[in-house]
Structure 1
Amino acid sequence: MKTISIKTIFLLIVGLTQLTVNSQNKVTFYPASHPSFVYMGRVQQNNETVKFNWPGVNVMTSFSGNELGIKIKGGERNYFNVWVDDRPEQILHAVNDTVWWYPEKLSKGLHQLRIVKRTEGDMGMAEFSGVYVGKKDKLEKPAPLPERKVLFIGNSITCGYGTEGKDKMERFKPATENCEKSYATITARAFNAQYHLVSHSGLGMVRNYGDKNKVSTQLLPMPPRLKYLIDGDSTCHYDLQNYVPDAIVINLGTNDFSTTPFPDEAVFIAAGKKLIKKLKEEFPDAKIVCVTGPMINEPCFSYTKKMVGEIRNDLATENVVFVGIPVNLLNTDNDLGSDYHPSYRGQLKLAQLLIPVLGTMLDWDYSLSEVLEKLKD
């Protein structure tokens, strides 16, 4: 067996160290606190880094040059989409504090960068530290965010749970969750709108999936989390006025009624009305759509529709509507991903029903190009 001398090992270590130093000398690091970074979603500034765990949080900037390194940490279960210009997305899985170098060849011009947390809060905290670009290159402010704003409050369907699963029998894995293939983000793109996703798998209006009680108390259901800066942390509140939506889409109820015992009708309706009244107090001009389906049927449909009717009377408003998405909208062979959840194709069908309703309510123009093109595949 051929042996390697101590001297050879020492020279290899010195060489690698020198290579690292030389590489660092050729790039400039911009921390997450730099003013050229723009964030869409709920983030917590922590000195030079930014932390977040809600799905769909976007980190955006523009950079010049052909080198890009992203310093980020997401743990074992978080995944990120990295978009540069109109190139196909790269999937980033940063278990430890990692500098990930963009693998494709880039030109020397100005590029738009967007990093998206594709997984939900239960997958763990993300910590973004900043980016490296070439020594002679720089960061600039990215293209401005759209003026239109939509807030989505929901469960696993809104999170994009299992959208990239190969079929309904595949068990969920974090790598198959992609919120950018959720009906929510599809809808936002159709309107060229900003979006915030306040969503968490397994949570309901009053009862969470599999709870032995009619009302969940040990793990709080979805409505109280509306005010959380970090999902799961009730001590750190988000100022709701930091993001004033034009429209709010609520898709809750699936987990309340997926297993027994079902919550009582009066309790479910009271909770829904309380949530909508809170939203109307914060955002009096917002249009609200309450969605039921496609993974649940009765009595969730009837309860939600009745709740919407009562709140319209209570508030004397027509700006709260019900949209029922039937179970048979989805083809069980082609439209389902992991654990019988809607795949990307299934989510496109949800969006196809929701988009025209919001368009009419808001008097907004929209494009169905993504929906129509992808459903052809």
Structure 2
Amino acid sequence: MKRIVKKFFLAKMGLAAILVVCFVSAALGADKVRFFAADHPQFQYMGRVVVKSGEATYNWPGVTVSVEFSGRSLGIRLDGGERNYFNVWVDDYPIEVVHAVNDTVWWFPRRLSRGKHHLRLVKRTEADMGTATFYGLYLGAKEQLIQPAPLPDRKLLFIGNSITCGYGTEGKDRSECFKPFTENCEKSYATIIARAFDAQYHLISHSGLGMVRNYGDQEKRSEKRKPMPARLEYLLDNDSTKKYDLNDYQPDAIVINLGTNDFSTQPFPDETDFVEAGKALLYRLLVTYPGVKIFCITGPMTDEPAFTYTKRTVHEVRGETNSGGLVFVGVPLQLMNPETDLGADSHPSYRGQLKTAGMILPVMGTVLHWDFLMDEILPVIQSH
């Protein structure tokens, strides 16, 4: 069925807010629409979000807005800028990839059935694609927002780079140059694992950043642009002035996948610097989240010396803390078939991400004593 997106491109706030109401009222009739602002208590947010003055602002990948609502009409008002893209799910069905360049109202492309429905709006792109503002929803004049079911009890935190962001997962092959619409964090190994465990997730991930050295840096240690560990407490990525209270989200397990960018180009960081930075991050996480299980991943876009250095990091912290909750998982380069498993800029495609998740998931399940589903992953594994 052909889908139609109705968009109203506006200037800034103030007059823009009035214009939105006017346009919507003109389209539907003034007595047929009702607006629910982003600070309404029924909205449920997963991820790091600033909710203030009726708006929700965020830029980390994977931030999700969820709500249930009644009625047959649905309009989503948001602003994502030129490079952000959003996945819209209604009743667990993928409806549209929305590109809200300016202050935009996106309308569900047909009449919904009567009764209750569930909306999930997911920011599929990372912070370098821009900051998003969710303003709220338009429903029929007599309709209501309904509190959605609680988020899953299990909680995961992922700290990573472009692989965790889902960079290039929707590229047609490895020769395609990256474009923002090829990035989809919902096809990252991280979100695949979260779905398999039926867990909440936060993605603290940013393309090009490393443990101690970022991609393409001319120095062994990146100083001008801080590597990934410095962003652990950022409420909004790329903004060091706003801090996130790490106590607001207590993960059961943390997955760290850093090191690819450190060793992607010369000069490589010194082993001591890499290990000490990794140990500092692990100690910080262990102090902040006592008893948490931490899985340090290397791969699938790098090999040595990242494997050896990361294993040394884990081994030393385990010995110094007498903790069995630290685990190394290596995902080898050879797991990726260059012809079938790579997307834009030779990053793992969705298929490659599924294979990556398939190596990590059983290890996590064993350590955490968690059951998990393999439905999403099995078709790829069984095809070999």
TM-score interval w.r.t. the shorter chain? over 0.9
Identical pairs, percent:
61
Which of 170, 179, 182 is equivalent to 1:164? Answer: 170
* Distance in structure 2 (CA, Å) of the matches to 1:147 and 1:19: 40
Structure whose CA Rg is larger: 1
Alignment of 1:93 onto 2:99: yes
Written as runs of structure 1 = structure 2, the 5 A alignment for 1:163-312 is 163-312=169-318
- After superposition, the C-alpha distances for 1:276-307 in whole angstroms (9 at most, x for unaligned) are 00000110111000000010000011000011
Structure 1 pair 257–26 and aligned structure 2 pair: CA distance change class (3 A): same
Contact residue 189 and residue 357 of structure 2 kept, 8 A: yes
Asked if 1:317 corresponds to 2:323, the answer is yes
Partner of 1:40: 46
How far, CA to CA, are the matches of 1:254 and 1:192 in structure 2? 28
SS at match of 2:287: helix
Structure 2 partner of 1:7:
none
Give the distance between the partners of 1:17 and 1:348, measured in 2 at CA.
43
Give deviations 1:314-341, integer Å, cap 9, x for gaps. 1110100100000000100000000000
- Equivalence for 1:345: 351
Q: Given residue 174 of structure 2, which amino acid in structure 1 is its aligned partner?
A: K
Letter in 2 for 1:322: F
Contact 1:160 1:180 in 2 (8 A): yes
* Aligned mates of 1:56, 1:21 — CA distance in 2: 32
Please give the TM-score of this superposition, normalised by the length of structure 1. 0.94
2-structure distance, mates of 1:136, 1:374: 46
Per the TM alignment, residue 375 of structure 1 is displaced from its structure 2 partner at its CA by 5.5
DSSP-derived class of the 1:60 partner: strand
> CA offsets per residue over residues 124-150 of structure 1, 9 Å max, x none?
000000000111111011121000000
Work out whether residues 345 and 375 of structure 1, in 8 Å CA contact, stay in contact via their aligned partners in 2.
no
Structure 1 residue ranges (4+ consecutive) displaced by more than 2 angstroms after TM superposition: 16-19, 21-25, 373-377
TM-score normalized by the length of structure 2: 0.92
Secondary structure of the residue that 1:88 maps to in structure 2? Answer: strand
Q: Is the Cα–Cα contact under 8 Å of residues 169 and 340 in structure 1 kept in the other structure?
A: yes
Identify unmatched segments of 5+ residues in structure 1: 1-15
1:369 counterpart SS class: coil
* Kept in 1: contact 2:160–2:206 (CA 8 A): yes
- After the TM superposition, which of the residue ranges 296-305 and 19-28 deviates more from structure 2? 19-28
- Residue in 2 that maps onto 1:8: none
C-alpha separation in 2, matches of 1:276 and 1:282: 10
* Offset at residue 259 of structure 1 (A): 0.2
What SS does the aligned partner of 1:370 have?
A: coil
Deviations 1:152-173 (A, max 9, x none): 0000000000000000000000
Residues 38-117 of structure 1 correspond to what in structure 2 (within 5 A)? 38-117=44-123
State how far apart, in whole Å, the 2-side matches of 1:19 and 1:296 are: 54
SS at match of 1:106: coil
Residue from 143, 155, 164 that aligns with 1:149: 155
**Offset at residue 18 of structure 1 (A):** 10
Query: Whose helix proportion is higher, 1 or 2?
Result: 1
Per-residue CA deviations over 1:183-221 (Å, capped at 9, x if unaligned) read 000000000000000000000000000000000000010
Contact 1:348 1:371 in 2 (8 A): yes
Determine whether 1:361 maps to 2:357: no
- Give 3-state SS (helix, strand or coil) of 1:25's partner: coil
Match in the other structure for 1:4: none
AA partner of residue 256 (structure 2): I
The 1:22/1:295 distance shift into structure 2, 3 A limit, reads closer
Equivalent position amino acid for 2:214 in 1:
N
Q: 1:24 to 1:314 in 2, by over 3 A?
A: farther
